[in-house]
Structure 1
Amino acid sequence: MTNRRCNFAIASILTIGAIYGTTAQAATCEYLVNSEWNTGFTATIKIKNDGNSAINGWQVGWEYTDGSRMTNSWNANVTGTNPYTATNLGWNGNISVGQSAEFGFQGTKGSTGANAQIPTVTGSVCGGGGTPTNHAPVAAAQATPTTGNAPLAVSFSASGSTDADGDALTYSWSFGDGTTGAGVTAAHTYSAAGDYTAVVTVSDGSLTDTASVNIAVTTETGNTPPNAVISSDVRGGKAPVVVAFDASGSSDADNDPLTYSWVFGDGSTGTGPTPSHLFSDPGSYVVTVTVSDGQDSDQASTTITVTDGSSGAARVDNPFRDAVWYVNPEWSAKAAAEPGGASIADINTAVWMDRIAAIEGTSTAMGLRDHLNEALVQGANMFMFVVYDLPNRDCNALASNGELLIAEGGMARYKAEYIDPIAEIVSDPAYQNIRIVAIIEIDSLPNLVTNLDVPACQEANGDDGYREGITYALNALAPIDNVYAYVDAAHSGWLGWDSNFGPAVDLIAGVVTGTDEGWSSIAGFITNTANYTPTVEAYLTNPNLNVGGQPVRSSNFYEWNSYFDEKSYAQEFRNKMIAKGAPSTIGMLIDTGRNGWGGTGRPGSVSSSSDLNTYVNDSRIDRRYHRGNWCNQSGGIGYKPWADPYPGVDAFVWVKPPGESDGVADPDFEQDPDDPAKQHDPMCNPASNNTDNPNVGTGALADAPHAGRWFSKGFQVLLENAYPPLDQPAGPPAQ
């Protein structure tokens, strides 16, 4: 749950560069600095074919020696963490004689105020540069046997993998059935029949390559079972509703003819690959198709939610208004046990469904149904929970890595084992009088705007990626009248630059309008979830105010971002969505649980300095070293949850429960037993520097546990730095 790359746009002020090449080589490779400012730069590498024949595919490399780092790229596949290697995309790999290809990137400088470095561009296509600093390894995978009856024991080897630089290699395996392994050789037993793709990822510590091998596991008869696939034209609606089903995408490796039998969950059955069925009564129905090849079979299921428009609480414009807000007893008990924590222990916080097991709950933790039942006991009619388990979750971070991976069939599990059970629970008529607010997949779509240089985000940008998962979630929840979905919109310090804001609005609006019910599938958007950006920068209200001859937004802290706080960002985000076609009733939420920034460091007035950076640093509420610092900051409890705080803002909310860690501080961490995929992110290390701006520290608190775990020290800091003071009741803020 984090802010990742903080990219920004600035007018080009100069173009300087260096060309490397002679008349003998295939191409000249030119490094151009397009624009630069105190802390960063944008640059382009241009490859011009000066040879006598077309270039079919290219690879170039470069390395910074002054501490500069690349943060974002476009028009090339860029790997490495300095040195960097870039290869062509599918459309720009062929360069005819006399023609050019180019790609661009953005970066941070090694020293504030220094001139942007112009490194040497190397590559076999360039003259005078030789080969790139580092070659990616070449992965190879073998398996013995590749076919057989279940249970089938298979030995894997990647010993044929090579690395041109002679680097030491590491090997990680995904066996295709949800299990993994490591080592140049591995062994695995497939217990069930099916077709599996085992993938090995080979790394030289900087670059990676993958190779795969297919394993066909059959039954004792030697037959390969079919693979069942199910879809429907809608996920439900108001009774009566006709739903068209489709299992024609099912397949059989032996090309056997298939038969289809259906159970619709309401006592009715059907046959054929594409039946339609009328659901007459409200309810949640699990529809199952059994696909048979005559010997073996496979099943697939989906959940259809049918509602009665006349039953339950009426749909409202703002689910937080005039409501009794649920208090999570688990969080409340932890808060009350802390010194001073009782002052906020009776406040609503969101319940996080951050893994499949969280839905059912455990012997020590309440599940989703447990919380909803508790809401009934409390007499609460507003319950807020977080949908947070996309495959490749939080693709540009390590602290909040999830249990599902796209490469391991995670999207199918996300739909069947995560979203469908959630939809089934929240559609239970027992909860129809509760306004159920669903916060949809934090840190997902914003990563597809700014972080496509990260391989996991590139993967999430394609098939089985974030768009598909969020669309499926919204389609599953939209038919349930008392569910109100709010989609993540990051925060001002992430998407506030013009170069990010417009593409983010286009992307997110496109996903929403691509759902079954379009704009009606959501109640609005949420900003600042799990982040620390102030709700209002009280003393910095005009980003274009001139101080020392420069606009405030050009300061080192704001880096030309025009949005200093969440109020201005949220209201403008809403305006842009309305311009895209969203209804005027669309609402915004702002997470204020940790953005109060009180305490002794809070300024009490605007600075009188004529130096721009001094003026900003003395005036700003946000006390972070850098707006990109997101992990366990020394923030403070902010505004208490409240409905209708500003025009267009449905509520202040505490989505990230105060006291829960953002990520583990210790690089030598012990694995989280519940979420073993979570790792250490350098941004959570108090001894490290910001990964995008090495000139500043992370500002992270020491001794923090894994993300989501209780962090007593962090909770105490939030209490100490609360603003407004904790003894003030919730209520409308100063405008």
Structure 2
Amino acid sequence: MTRTRRTTRPARRRRAAWLFATAAVVVVAVAATVGVGAATGWFGALGPTPPGPGTRFVVAAESAAAQAAAQASGTDTTADAGEAKDAADFLAAQPTAYWLTPERDPIGAVAARVTALAGEARTQDATLALVVYGLPERDCGNHSAGGLSPTDYPTWIDEIAGALVQASEVRAVVILEPDSLSLATECGNLDDRVAQLRAAVAALQRENTWIYLDGGHSNWHPAAEQARLLTAVGLGGVRGFSLNVSNFNATDAEVSYAHAVARNLDAPAHAFIDTSRNGAGSNGEWCNPPGRLVGQASGTIGDDVVDTNLWIKPPGESDGPCNGGPAAGEWWPAAAIELTHQARR
């Protein structure tokens, strides 16, 4: 469920399709029905009001932090145990994206998960924030390797899409397949990635859902190259692109990069920035770097290009077996303590 990326140069990572014409037809039909696309200059907007500063995102009871907080033993009074409980409690209360992966929420179960999360968003009068992370050859065999087969992936996506349609009144943000495009040239599978992402966009579109293709980060591809990769998929049906997911780059750098990428695109483009672990900036490492801190709370920044920020990578989950961490996606109490020690004061 976690993705890990270098901040100085790309790490080695993740290494059928539905017709693109279908995506185009869906976009045109929805734009005609909603009546907003051309009038506002949105980048594939599928709802009346896009997310922005002040957006309240759901606090999910299913988060790893919430589970860690619930499992903490009240009889363990050691200093580390108390700090770990405090850190888990703090993180469990923060609006953070939920990562849908086939390992945790497989075919046959993922729709129920989305339905439950949508119910929480409805109860909280909040926006649902999902990361869809299940592409075939995910992470090119690196720490977050996995994903579905080319034949199973569309089925899984359709189940997610069906659950979102059933919760049509719930506003949702979907971060689609972190690293998939930024890694594609390195992994040699850009054509496959483009087809898979086009198909996923076509399936996931609905009113009140805003889809963001992942756009890497400011220390990876030059802005023009990242724009070329986004354009290869096509801008129809998506709101924009996500940046800094699972990374640590300073917010100002990512805001500048968002504007640079947008200037290189042929359609109006909007960005989401992950601020979950960038409170101390980057030290040049991409996998469990020490000394990092949580960043700005979700929904607190934004401008004419950057819709807002979101804690996309759940703080406290490991990037992989590096710098003392457990396997990718596992809860790591020591990291949770370090990331939150200033925020909890």
Is the structural similarity TM-score above 0.5?
Answer: yes
Say yes or no: does 1:347 pair with 2:62.
no
Aligned match of 1:589 in 272, 284, 288? Answer: 272
Q: Please give the alpha-carbon distance, in whole angstroms, between the structure 1 residues aligned to 2:305 and 2:21.
A: 33
Residue equivalent to 1:633? 289
1:308 CA displacement: 6.8
The one-character-per-residue Cα deviations of 1:399-427 (angstroms, maximum 9, x if unpaired) are 100133xxxxx222111x21111111111
User: Measured at CA, do residues 653 and 232 of structure 1 come closer, stay the same or move farther in structure 2, by a change above 3 Å?
Assistant: closer
Residue equivalent to 2:150? 411
Q: Is the 8 A contact 1:660 1:707 kept in 2?
A: yes
Matches of residues 409-448 of structure 1 in structure 2 within 5 Å? 410-415=149-154, 417-428=155-166, 431-448=167-184
Q: Is the 8 A contact 2:87 2:336 kept in 1?
A: no
1:529 CA displacement: 0.2
Letter of the structure 2 residue corresponding to residue 527 of structure 1:
L
User: Measured at CA, do residues 490 and 233 of structure 1 come closer, stay the same or move farther in structure 2, by a change above 3 Å?
Assistant: closer
Q: Is the 8 A contact 1:442 1:488 kept in 2?
A: yes
User: Measured at CA, do residues 647 and 361 of structure 1 come closer, stay the same or move farther in structure 2, by a change above 3 Å?
Assistant: same
1:335 CA displacement: 6.1
Residue equivalent to 1:12? none
Matches of residues 712-731 of structure 1 in structure 2 within 5 Å? 712-720=333-341, 722=342, 725-726=343-344
SS in 1 for 2:151: helix
User: Measured at CA, do residues 5 and 644 of structure 1 come closer, stay the same or move farther in structure 2, by a change above 3 Å?
Assistant: closer
Aligned match of 1:387 in 129, 132, 139? Answer: 132
The one-character-per-residue Cα deviations of 1:315-360 (angstroms, maximum 9, x if unpaired) are 2342245543211112252464522443443221111111166156
Q: Is the 8 A contact 1:526 1:589 kept in 2?
A: yes
SS in 1 for 2:297: coil
Q: Please give the alpha-carbon distance, in whole angstroms, between the structure 1 residues aligned to 2:55 and 2:169.
A: 11
Letter of the structure 1 residue corresponding to residue 310 of structure 2:
V
User: Measured at CA, do residues 230 and 329 of structure 1 come closer, stay the same or move farther in structure 2, by a change above 3 Å?
Assistant: closer
1:510 CA displacement: 2.3
User: Measured at CA, do residues 656 and 512 of structure 1 come closer, stay the same or move farther in structure 2, by a change above 3 Å?
Assistant: same
Matches of residues 101-140 of structure 1 in structure 2 within 5 Å? none
Q: Please give the alpha-carbon distance, in whole angstroms, between the structure 1 residues aligned to 2:212 and 2:57.
A: 17
SS in 2 for 1:339: helix
Give the number of equivalent residue pairs: 312
Q: Is the 8 A contact 1:325 1:383 kept in 2?
A: yes
User: Measured at CA, do residues 361 and 367 of structure 1 come closer, stay the same or move farther in structure 2, by a change above 3 Å?
Assistant: farther
User: Measured at CA, do residues 398 and 523 of structure 1 come closer, stay the same or move farther in structure 2, by a change above 3 Å?
Assistant: same
Residue equivalent to 1:372? 118
User: Measured at CA, do residues 482 and 717 of structure 1 come closer, stay the same or move farther in structure 2, by a change above 3 Å?
Assistant: same
Q: Is the 8 A contact 1:491 1:527 kept in 2?
A: yes
Letter of the structure 1 residue corresponding to residue 174 of structure 2:
A
Residue equivalent to 2:22? 234
User: Measured at CA, do residues 425 and 637 of structure 1 come closer, stay the same or move farther in structure 2, by a change above 3 Å?
Assistant: same
Q: Please give the alpha-carbon distance, in whole angstroms, between the structure 2 residues aligned to 1:523 and 1:726.
A: 34
Say yes or no: does 1:461 pair with 2:190.
yes
Q: Please give the alpha-carbon distance, in whole angstroms, between the structure 1 residues aligned to 2:233 and 2:147.
A: 24
Larger relative contact order (CA 8 Å, sep ≥ 6): 2
Q: Please give the alpha-carbon distance, in whole angstroms, between the structure 2 residues aligned to 1:642 and 1:374.
A: 18
Letter of the structure 2 residue corresponding to residue 576 of structure 1:
N
Kindly indicate which of the two structures has a greater share of residues assigned to strand.
1
Residue equivalent to 1:653? 310
Residue equivalent to 2:260? 572
The alignment's C-alpha RMSD in Å is 3.3
Say yes or no: does 1:512 pair with 2:259.
no
Task: Using the TM superposition, name which of 435-444 and 503-512 deviates more.
Answer: 503-512
Kindly indicate which of the two structures has a greater share of residues assigned to helix.
2
Say yes or no: does 1:642 pair with 2:299.
yes
TM-score if structure 2 supplies the norm length?
A: 0.79
Say yes or no: does 1:491 pair with 2:237.
no
1:533 CA displacement: 1.3
SS in 1 for 2:105: helix
User: Measured at CA, do residues 503 and 362 of structure 1 come closer, stay the same or move farther in structure 2, by a change above 3 Å?
Assistant: closer
Matches of residues 508-587 of structure 1 in structure 2 within 5 Å? 508-513=230-235, 518=236, 521-536=237-252, 565-577=253-265, 581-583=266-268, 586-587=269-270
Q: Please give the alpha-carbon distance, in whole angstroms, between the structure 2 residues aligned to 1:232 and 1:646.
A: 31
SS in 1 for 2:264: helix
Q: Percent identical across equivalent pairs?
A: 30
1:574 CA displacement: 2.2
Aligned match of 1:475 in 193, 199, 202? Answer: 202
1:590 CA displacement: 1.0
Q: Please give the alpha-carbon distance, in whole angstroms, between the structure 1 residues aligned to 2:250 and 2:229.
A: 25
User: Measured at CA, do residues 576 and 726 of structure 1 come closer, stay the same or move farther in structure 2, by a change above 3 Å?
Assistant: farther
Q: Please give the alpha-carbon distance, in whole angstroms, between the structure 2 residues aligned to 1:437 and 1:348.
A: 13
Q: Computing the radius of gyration over CA atoms, which structure comes out larger, 1 or 2?
A: 1
SS in 2 for 1:358: coil
Matches of residues 182-221 of structure 1 in structure 2 within 5 Å? none
Letter of the structure 2 residue corresponding to residue 512 of structure 1:
G
Q: Please give the alpha-carbon distance, in whole angstroms, between the structure 2 residues aligned to 1:582 and 1:575.
A: 9
Q: Please give the alpha-carbon distance, in whole angstroms, between the structure 2 residues aligned to 1:340 and 1:231.
A: 46
SS in 2 for 1:367: helix
1:655 CA displacement: 0.6
Letter of the structure 1 residue corresponding to residue 163 of structure 2:
I
The one-character-per-residue Cα deviations of 1:212-259 (angstroms, maximum 9, x if unpaired) are xxxxxxxxxxxxxxxxx99695367499x8xxxxxxxxxxxxxxxxxx
Letter of the structure 2 residue corresponding to residue 632 of structure 1:
N
User: Measured at CA, do residues 327 and 359 of structure 1 come closer, stay the same or move farther in structure 2, by a change above 3 Å?
Assistant: farther
Letter of the structure 2 residue corresponding to residue 412 of structure 1:
T
Residue equivalent to 1:611? none
The one-character-per-residue Cα deviations of 1:44-91 (angstroms, maximum 9, x if unpaired) are xxxxxxxxxxxxxxxxxxxxxxxxxxx99xxxxxxxxxxxxxxxxxxx
Residue equivalent to 2:5? 3
Q: Is the 8 A contact 1:327 1:349 kept in 2?
A: yes
User: Measured at CA, do residues 435 and 636 of structure 1 come closer, stay the same or move farther in structure 2, by a change above 3 Å?
Assistant: same
Q: Please give the alpha-carbon distance, in whole angstroms, between the structure 1 residues aligned to 2:49 and 2:270.
A: 8
User: Measured at CA, do residues 447 and 317 of structure 1 come closer, stay the same or move farther in structure 2, by a change above 3 Å?
Assistant: same
Residue equivalent to 2:76? none
SS in 2 for 1:484: strand
Say yes or no: does 1:329 pair with 2:64.
no
Q: Is the 8 A contact 1:369 1:425 kept in 2?
A: yes
Matches of residues 7-406 of structure 1 in structure 2 within 5 Å? 7=9, 233-234=21-22, 237=26, 309=34, 315-331=47-63, 333-334=66-67, 336=69, 338-355=85-102, 358=105, 367-380=113-126, 382-395=127-140, 397-404=141-148
1:444 CA displacement: 0.8
